[in-house]
Every structure is written in C-alpha cells, then in structure tokens.
Amino acid sequence: MSQDLESSITALVDSLLESYEGDKYIDKVSTFEYPDEEVIIHLIDSLKRLVLQGFYNNKSYKVLTMKSPISILMEDVIYNLTRQISIVCKYNEDCGCGETSGQGSTDKALSEKALSITMAFLEKLPKIREYLETDVEAFYEGDPAAFNKDEIIYCYPGLNAILTYRFAHELHLLGVRMIPRIMTEHAHSLTGIDIHPGATIGKYFFIDHGTGIVVGETTRIGDHVKVYQGVTLGALSTRGGQNLRGKRRHPTIEDNVTIYSGASILGGETVIGEGAVIGGNTFITSSIPAGAKVSVKNQELAVNFSTGKNEGARDLPVQFETRQLDDEDTWFYVI
C-alpha cells in the first residue's frame, strides 16, 4: 500500500471517529446487546419446522419417531428466543417486565420474564397450525394454477409471508416489539409482501401473487379474504406522526371480501362490508356496503400499430362495449 493511500485511509478513519463524538441518537453506545437478526431468521426457520414437521424436517436426524427432532428443535427455540426477548425487554416496557424493565433490571429477572413469554408463545403453536391449515386450503381452492397443496407450502410467497406474520403476531400480542418486526421485514425482503405484526388477520387468508401488498398495523381482516398483488391497506394520513400511536389508522376488511390488484383502501374509519368485491386500481377512503362491487370506469386507450404495408403507424380509438355485469361474470383485471 502506498504511503499516500495509507495516509488517506488514516485521515478518513479519524474523520469518521470524530463524527461519532456528538450527541446524535445514532452516536449512542448501548450498555446491552441488540437483537441478532441472524438468530431471529434462524428462529423463523426452526418455527417453520415445528409447525410443518413433515415438510421441513431436518434430514440429519436419523430417528424413527417425530418426538426426538421436535424436542431438539423446541430446546433450540426456547434458548434462542428467550435470549432475544431478554435483550429487547431491557428497553421495552411493553414486554410486561414491569418493575424489572429498564436500566435497573437484573439479568435474572429479565431472563425469567423472557422465558415466561417464550413459553406462552410456544403454547400458541397449535393455534398457528390451525390457522395455517385454513390458509393452505384457501390458497388451493382460490388458485387454479396450484398443482397441489405441497406446491403451495414449498413455493408460494404469499403463504410464506402469512406464516411468518402469524409467528410475529403472537409475539406482538405478548408485548414483544422489534423481534416481530424483524420477522415480518425478513418475509417482506423475500416476498415483497409487507404485513405489520400488529394487524389482525382471520382464517382462510389468501394472497395471490403478492408482490407489493402492504397491510398496516391496525388493519383488521376477517375470514375468507382474498387479496391480489399491489394492494395497500393503509392509513389515510400519517401527518400526525407519533400523536397517532395506538389509534386506528387502517381499514377493516370483513369476511368473504375480494380485493383485486392495485387497489388502495385507506383510513381507520373505512370498513369494507362482508362479501364486497373491490376492483383493480380503485382508491377507497370511505366505507363500502356489504355485497357491493366497486370498479373504476374504463379508460380510453389508443392503440398504435402498423399494417405492414408501409402505411406507417397510426393511433386509433378503442371502442368498448358497455353492458350490465351478471353475477356470474368474472372481473377482467384478474391476472
């Protein structure tokens, strides 16, 4: 390395170190560890093996019964999840650590509370499996492209995002923060589907394609709801910032609703009634009655084409046939 380059590197390092010596929030050095993203991702994989043992069993376990590998996985989850929860509980009053939380916490008290939360979470795994069974059924019945249910479990990003959300949601309900967000953001990075762990989602939830879907923190979704790619269930406005914390900002989607691609449904007072069908690219900020069908008017299109006979390209208006839709008609924007 040349002397000039070495001097430049030294100067850059000194300059960066000097920038650490301020009072910015990002300058702080915590007295405790932060949650480990790699460990949390490992926990997601372990939890998937617990709820889908027959699909994600570890081939290195040369045993003839399910009990031994499940016991090994369970111990691994208990150790790692308890450790991660004890870390976030040190600065998270919502963990329910009570007088033990905060800077005056003792490691023993935090560990005991974290273990209690971990065990309460693991008791929810049968419930998660119950919901997952209905989700798989909804995917299979809702998608004619699905060859079988195994394909859905192994391949469908929507099911991956929903399962990860269901883990994160139960932790969120137990007062654990940050860890659920790391879980759902990991699923977001893999699938393009952004579901906040605070959202409430019922059984038989079907996400088709999925990329670009956003489900906000206070969203409530009923049973048998079908959502296509690019759908936003969001807040009407976030200009209030932290003053909006804990308030309903996102819509309620009742049972048996279908929301087609590109639709945006916004606002905490917005309720989509049972059985409604929301067409693609619609923008909704007020409630829709049960059984309604919502769509946008056809846009005028110009088609540019050439006949191949040296007449050049030209624009022609496209004529649309207007007719009353029957109940049996399918929506033309389904992909």
- As a whole-number percent, the residues of the chain with pLDDT over 70 amount to 78
pLDDT in tens, 97-156: 544 444 445 678 888 999 999 999 999 999 999 999 999 999 999 999 999 999 999 999
- As a whole-number percent, the residues of the chain with pLDDT over 90 amount to 59
- Which residue bears the tokens 């939890």? 47
Q: How many degrees, rounded to 5, is the angle at CA 252 between CA 131 and CA 274? A: 80
What is the arithmetic mean of pLDDT over 254-272? 96
pLDDT of residue 3: 80
pLDDT in tens, 190-226: 999 999 999 999 999 999 999 999 999 999 999 999 9
- Residues sharing a CB contact under 8 Å with residue 256, sequence separation 6 or more, in sequence order: 222, 223, 224, 225, 274, 275
Per the prediction, the chain carries an average pLDDT of 84
pLDDT of residue 131: 97
Are 290 and 276 in contact by the 8 Å Cβ rule? The answer is: yes
| Report field, pTM of the whole predicted structure over 0.85 | no
Domain annotation for the chain: domains and CATH numbers: 30-192 (1.10.3130.10), 199-298 (2.160.10.10)
- Cα(53)–Cα(235) distance, integer angstroms: 38
pLDDT of residue 4: 83
Count of CB atoms situated within 10 Å of the CB of 45: 10
pLDDT in tens, 270-280: 999 999 999 99
Are 168 and 181 in contact by the 8 Å Cβ rule? The answer is: yes
Question: Predicted confidence band at 9 (pLDDT cuts at 50, 70, 90)?
Answer: confident
